[in-house]
Amino acid sequence: MTLTLTQRLSLVFSALLLACCGASAMLQIRSSDLHEKEVVQNLSKNLADHIAHRTTLMDANGLRPDAVRQLFGQLMMVNPSVEVYLLDNQGRIQGDDAPAGHVKRAQVDLTPIRQFIAGNALPIVGDDPRSVDGKKVFSAAPLQLSGQAPSGYIYVVLLGEEHDALAARVAASSVLRTTLWSMALVALLGLLAGLTAFGLITRPLRRLTDAMRRFDADGEPDTQPAVPRSAAAGQRDEIAVLETTFAQMANRIGEQWRALTRQDQQRRELIANISHDLRTPLTSLHGYLETLSLKSETLSDAERKRYLAIALAQSLKVGRLAQSLFELARLEHGNVQLALERFSLVDVVQDVFQKFELPAEARQIELRAGIPPRLPNVYADLGMIERVLTNLLDNAIRHTPAGGHIDVDLALQDGKVEVTVSDTGSGISPAQREALFERPFSASGAHRGGGLGLLIVRRMLQLHDSRIRLVERDATGKAGTIDTPGATFRFELPTGDRQATQLPGNA
């Protein structure tokens, strides 16, 4: 059977409490016994000396047996718990008043007697003549005639057999039972208090255990655990700190899991919808090529050229889409290393303008550049920045009607070169603004974002520790409301000789 931590702690505590109660009872009994012995021995320590000096037990001929028996009988009648013995100089028992067969020793150890006579600290226990190995408190005194060496000892056992029999009867009385029941009640109350305390102390741990059990194996909790209110700053309760840390970790894992789930869903949607976008031009391309193959002899030169032009346009569209997908996949999942260098952003803008000069003229769109004097060089990947400007101008040209214009403005702001690309096209609809830089398709297949070009732009600028954003405009093209036609995008690039390791894409 597997026990919980609280149950194991409770069992250990119960065992320790019972052991402590038992040890306490034993120590208390022993302490009471020693206290009784010390009191009795102190009260009666002069008893043997009084007997030895006040009573004539010896004469010139030695011990007087009649006097010894008479004295011992009188003492036993006055105090039944007292047992008197007469010892010689070697500790051998020479006289007693014990019933026949009660004396179990013929000799008593004299060492405790000498310690008692010398005045050592009490209590001192000596041999019990009525027990094989028992010890009792006693009173002792040397027995001698005036002017002569001691000829023996008076040895008085203060707590004899009668005392032991009476103590045994008292031990079985209601007083002792009441005492034992009182101790058991105290132990039970202590046990209940301890178990309650353990329950209160381990409550946060049980709450944490329940939260961890609810945590799914895939890292997504059914219910995000809340950070406990007791986990304030500087909290020293280890369990509360652990609970707080787990709640924060679970919330973070949940957020990361949901983000991964969204990304995976977006990736699936992208693949499905890109497949749809590829199918359309490929079907058209295949149809026109098949028409040229089957009806080549019956088509006129004009029809043949028109079919070839359409097929070529569709193949270019497929190629651009495939290239964009490859580039986006490489940027998002590949280990892209930035080729950082110092270069003139003005020259890059001019090269991009030359690239789009003919398409702009064909659509009657004016390309304009706003370049301040003495603009410093930027420190970035030249190829990526050229691709960023290319994608932005390509989008602007495709969405700007004839007679419009596209502006690329450069400015130095807070130690960085600020790049602004604006057009006079149809603008960005409110439905597209929120997901402008996200994947361009929804779960239903509807187009929702700004296209693969803006996704590539955003990722390239992220590698440069920069961010592209849609800027609000007014009717004059300056900051204001975003409800007027046209779109304005802005980003910044670092200047100077920054170290390549400072940019995340080169880490």
Phi, psi (5° rounding) for residue 370? -110, 105
Residue 89 has pLDDT above 80, yes or no: yes
Task: State the DSSP code for 504.
Answer: G
The answer to whether the CB of 280 falls within 8 A of the CB of 313 is no
Q: How far apart are the first and last CA of the chain?
A: 53
pLDDT band at 152 (very low <50, low <70, confident <90, very high): confident
Q: What is the mean pLDDT of residues 55-59?
A: 60
User: How many beta carbons lie within 10 A of that of residue 487, not counting itself?
Assistant: 25
Q: Of the candidates 123, 438, 407, 428, which has an alpha carbon nearest to the alpha carbon of residue 267?
A: 438
470 shares a domain with 342: yes
How many whole angstroms separate alpha carbon 264 and alpha carbon 221?
19
444 shares a domain with 395: yes
The pLDDT of residue 505 is 47
Residue 494 lies in a domain: yes
457 shares a domain with 442: yes
The pLDDT of residue 214 is 72
pLDDT band at 54 (very low <50, low <70, confident <90, very high): low
The pLDDT of residue 347 is 93
304 shares a domain with 354: no
pLDDT band at 213 (very low <50, low <70, confident <90, very high): confident
372 shares a domain with 487: yes
Range from 50-54, 173-177, 475-479 that averages highest in pLDDT: 50-54
The pLDDT of residue 342 is 93
pTM for the full predicted model: 0.46
Q: What is the mean pLDDT of residues 356-378?
A: 92
Helix (H, G, I), strand (E, B) or coil at 162: helix
The pLDDT of residue 77 is 63
Residue 99 has pLDDT above 90, yes or no: no
The pLDDT of residue 172 is 56
Of all residues in the chain, the percent with pLDDT exceeding 70 is 76
Cα distances from 113 to residues 36, 40, 152, in angstroms, run 19, 16, 11
Q: What is the mean pLDDT of residues 137-159?
A: 78
- CATH number at 307 reads 1.10.287.130
The partner residues of 155 in beta bridges, in order of sequence, read: 85, 140
The pLDDT of residue 499 is 44
Of all residues in the chain, the percent with pLDDT exceeding 90 is 15
Alpha helices in 102-202 (DSSP H): 111-118, 161-171, 174-201
Residue 72 has pLDDT above 70, yes or no: no
Mean residue pLDDT across the chain: 77
- Pick 234 or 395 by higher pLDDT: 395
Last residue of a domain, one of 332, 361, 391: 332
345 shares a domain with 326: no
- Pick 461 or 431 by higher pLDDT: 461
The pLDDT of residue 256 is 85
pLDDT band at 377 (very low <50, low <70, confident <90, very high): very high
300 shares a domain with 384: no
- With b for 16 or more beta-carbon neighbours within 10 A and e for fewer, the 207-244 pattern comes to ebeebeeebeeeeebeeebeebeebeeeeeeebbeebb
- CATH number at 365 reads 3.30.565.10
Residue 189 lies in a domain: no
The pLDDT of residue 68 is 65
How many whole angstroms separate alpha carbon 310 and alpha carbon 321?
17
Strand 488-494 to 469-470 pairing: antiparallel
The pLDDT of residue 442 is 41
The pLDDT of residue 447 is 44
Q: What is the mean pLDDT of residues 37-65?
A: 70
Residue 4 lies in a domain: no
Residue 292 lies in a domain: yes
Last residue of a domain, one of 174, 202, 219: 174
Contacts of 17 (CB under 8 A, 6+ apart): 187, 190, 191, 194
121 shares a domain with 270: no
Q: What is the mean pLDDT of residues 361-376?
A: 92
Q: What is the mean pLDDT of residues 303-318?
A: 85
405 shares a domain with 269: no
Residue 463 lies in a domain: yes
Residue 180 lies in a domain: no
pLDDT band at 121 (very low <50, low <70, confident <90, very high): confident
Q: What is the mean pLDDT of residues 217-223?
A: 51
Q: Of the candidates 155, 151, 150, which has an alpha carbon nearest to the alpha carbon of residue 85?
A: 155
- Pick 28 or 447 by higher pLDDT: 28
pLDDT band at 351 (very low <50, low <70, confident <90, very high): very high
The pLDDT of residue 364 is 92
The partner residues of 125 in beta bridges, in order of sequence, read: 137
Residue 109 lies in a domain: yes
How many whole angstroms separate alpha carbon 250 and alpha carbon 255?
9
Residue 379 has pLDDT above 90, yes or no: yes
Residue 441 has pLDDT above 50, yes or no: no
pLDDT band at 479 (very low <50, low <70, confident <90, very high): very low
Q: Tokens 């009717």 sit at which residue?
A: 475
pLDDT band at 482 (very low <50, low <70, confident <90, very high): very low
- Count of the separate structural domains present in the chain: 3
347 shares a domain with 318: no
Q: Tokens 């390509």 sit at which residue?
A: 394
Comparing 243-247, 368-372, 479-483, 502-506, the range with the smallest average pLDDT is 479-483
123 shares a domain with 43: yes
Last residue of a domain, one of 312, 332, 352: 332
Q: What is the mean pLDDT of residues 38-66?
A: 70
- CATH number at 139 reads 3.30.450.20
Domain coverage including residue 126:
18-174
Q: Tokens 């040895």 sit at which residue?
A: 155
Residue 180 has pLDDT above 80, yes or no: no
Task: State the DSSP code for 54.
Answer: H
pLDDT band at 173 (very low <50, low <70, confident <90, very high): low
Residue 197 lies in a domain: no
The answer to whether the CB of 425 falls within 8 A of the CB of 401 is yes
64 shares a domain with 39: yes
